Amino acid sequence: MMEPEEIVSKIQAAIADAQVRVVDMTGTRDHFDAIVISPSFEGLLTIKRHRMVYAALVEEMKGPIHALALQTLTPEEWEAQQ
């Protein structure tokens, strides 16, 4: 079990200039939805971006986190979506 804030910190520690929002999807503190916005995603395939996020949470993915749905965007891509 984890708090969304802990996940945010881990991702920010690992990915430069990341803006992160994490939501607990089920209230059971183990299924999360995350949006990560970072310029370091530029030019990377989605799978590469997701790997970067999972790399920040290696131990957590083995236990406390059962599911982590991801959206990984550059700031420009985020703007384009608004």
Partner 1 sequence: MSESKKISLPISGSTSVEANDSPENSEQGGDILSEIAKINSDNPVVLYMKGTPDQPMCGFSAAASAVLSSYGKPYTAVNVLADPEIRQGIKVYGNWPTIPQLYVGGELMGGSDIVRQMHESGELLEVIERALAKVD
Report the interface residues with partner 1, using CB under 8 A: 46-47, 50-51, 54, 58, 61-62, 67-71
- Smallest gap from residue 31 Cβ to partner 1 (A): 10
Q: Which is nearer to partner 1, 18 or 65 (CB)?
A: 65
- Smallest gap from residue 9 Cβ to partner 1 (A): 19
- Smallest gap from residue 7 Cβ to partner 1 (A): 14
In angstroms, the CA 6 to CA 79 distance is 26
- Residue ranges of alpha helices (H) inside the chain are 4-14, 46-55, 58-62, 75-81
Q: Which residue has the tokens 């982590």?
A: 68
Q: Which is nearer to partner 1, 16 or 62 (CB)?
A: 62
Q: Which is nearer to partner 1, 12 or 33 (CB)?
A: 33
Question: Per 3-state DSSP, what percentage of the chain is helix, strand, and coil (rounded to 5)?
Answer: 45, 25, 30
